[in-house]
Amino acid sequence: MFSLKNLFIKVICTCLLLNFTQVNASELKNDLISPDNILTATHQTVSYYVPDQVISIQTQIELSSSLTALGMTVTLPQGWTYLETSGVNQSEIDPKVDGCTLTFAWINNLDLNQMTFSYKLKAGPVVGQEVSITANITFRVGASTEKEQNVLPNPLIIKARNVKPYPPDLISPANHETGILLSPTLITESFQDPNENDTHLGSDWQLFIDTNNSQDLIYFIHTENDQVNLPLPEFILMPDSMYTWRVRHFDDNGEVSEWSYGHFETVVNSDLEDGIPVSQKVDNNVDMDNDSVSDNHQTSIKSFQSIVGDVNIGLKSTYPDDCVVSMVRSIDPDQTISDTINRPAKLPFGMIAFKLTVNEPGDSAIVNVFYSQPLPENVRWYMYDFQNGWKSYLPQLSNDRKTVTINLVDGGDGDADGIKNGIIIDPSGPGIPQSQDVTDTPTINETIDNGSCFINVINWK
């Protein structure tokens, strides 16, 4: 309210959250005709706002009578800051700021037919879906009683544009950390977005090996929802090597953050000898492919002991001729994979992680997997990777049920690194399905899960 000596314009802050975007040029406008037709007021501003950016609100008041005092009360969202008033009719008394309240007034005789001025606000640092600004006018004609009227019967509604999520903070490995083991879990900070209602839709993860002043992409995966940790598959990393990794987050409105980068160096030594863990080496008399030559004396086959089920397993590439399995390891999925969706009821011999190189990116390779014991009658072949989860396929076995032949494609079926880079990383193994998986058994070259096949089964005898 105001007296004959002064009139206050009050700016009262209410609680709403804002964010970063670009102001749209379109405008909002609300008009008012006051009681007794003494004045008509127009209040207008932009229809979209950005956080921390200056927004101008234009006000025009048409007078049909001389006034002795005039003021306006404006209600703003929390976090918005008053900056200044401008125009030939700007307030005659310097605005007073008291916490969230700003007051200013015109107290001289107002004989103008029209008053035009604007005031500037700075949006808050956090964004909501939309904010509202309301206003009313208080005025006096001569010595009459003060009259008050809403300038805007409906408030100005300013919408917030969606903006990019914040780049994720990379937690582990720490930047420039050394001595990283060969199967780390990449971890980022939780998703953060200036838009308070945006959620984490997914993330891109990429891994590069640093060699000779260049970086070669060796791993790429897109994870869904709010995933902020990513266990790397076996044999993605090599010992005594430098790596760069980067991550970006997507929100549910289609915006993507900038990349965040990290660097690390792996351990100098690993537990591998000739591409096989020392603890899983077989005796020199083991000959899994029955070619009368000890597997330990050949480079074309990698044989090892399973850490689950107490069997010997051998891997041998049969196509192309110069494609050789370079690394192999028996893994226990009960210790390394927590995902239970579509998980087999049992993995009697654990799973196999192996690495092989093809001639050209995108090439295929055929690998025979030999077992020292026959596989169960109702066995299927299972693969797991972090992006696709558990996938199962119906294998074609040799007559003695000791050999499975699988067809792998670099950057495609059976390759867990997600890119065509001439390297195939494959974690898989034989499993017993859950009871509900037994029906609708596919035939050879058909798949059980959603038609996405990484194993093309080939007769082998």
Same domain, 182 and 324: no
Top pLDDT among 239 and 436 is at 239
Residues 106, 241, single domain; the answer is no
Q: What single-letter amino acid sits at 209?
A: I
How large a percentage of the chain has pLDDT more than 70? 84
How many structural domains compose the chain? 3
In a domain? residue 237: yes
Beta bridge partners of 269: none
Is the same domain home to 140 and 220?
A: no
Q: Mean pLDDT across the stretch 324-348?
A: 92
Q: Is the pLDDT of residue 411 over 60?
A: yes
Q: Domain range spanning residue 150? A: 11-160
- Same domain for 383 and 279, yes or no, is yes
Contact between 117 and 138 (Cβ < 8 Å)? no
Question: CATH number of the domain that 207 lies in?
Answer: 2.60.40.10
Domain boundary among 221, 238, 266: 266
64 and 101 share one domain: yes
What pTM, to 2 d.p., does this model score? Answer: 0.69
Same-domain pairing of 292 and 247: no
- Evaluate whether residue 451 is within a structural domain: no
What is the reported pLDDT for 258? 97
Residues 373, 277 share a domain: yes
- Say if 2 falls within a structural domain: no
444 falls within a domain: no
- The Cα 343–Cα 391 span in angstroms is 8
The predicted pLDDT at position 204 comes to 97
Residue 437, classed as helix, strand or coil, is helix
- What stretch of H or E contains 425? strand 423-431
Give the tens place of pLDDT for each residue, 286-318: 999 999 999 999 999 999 999 999 899 999 998
**pLDDT for the residue numbered 440:** 38
Residue 127 belongs to some domain of the structure: yes
Q: Could you give the angle at the alpha carbon of 9 between the alpha carbons of 8 and 14, nearest 5°?
A: 130
Residue 392 domain-assigned?
Answer: yes
Are residues 329 and 217 located together in one domain of the fold? no
Residue, of 18 and 174, whose pLDDT is higher:
174
CATH number, residue 45: 2.60.40.740
Last residue of one domain, picked from the residues 131, 160, 189:
160
Of 134, 160, 186, the residue at which a domain comes to its end is 160
Average pLDDT over all residues of the chain: 82
The strand ranges marked E within 50-176 are 54-63, 69-77, 81-86, 96-98, 101-103, 114-122, 130-140, 147-150, 156-160, 170-172
Does a structural domain hold residue 457? no
Residue 284 lies in a domain: yes
Residue 103: strand pairing partners: 96
204: burial class by Cβ within 10 Å (0-12, 13-18, 19+)? middle
Residue 28 has pLDDT above 60, yes or no: no
Residues 383 and 280 in one domain: yes
pLDDT at 461 > cutoff 50:
no
| Cα–Cα dist 18/129, whole Å | 8
CA atoms of 424 and 419, how far apart (whole Å): 9
| 57 plus 113 within the same structural domain | yes
Per DSSP, what are the bridge partners of residue 73? 136
Q: Are 315 and 258 in the same domain?
A: no
Same domain, 192 and 131: no
pLDDT band at residue 67 using 50, 70 and 90 as cut-offs: confident
Predicted pLDDT at 97: 72
- Flag whether pLDDT at 248 surpasses 90: yes
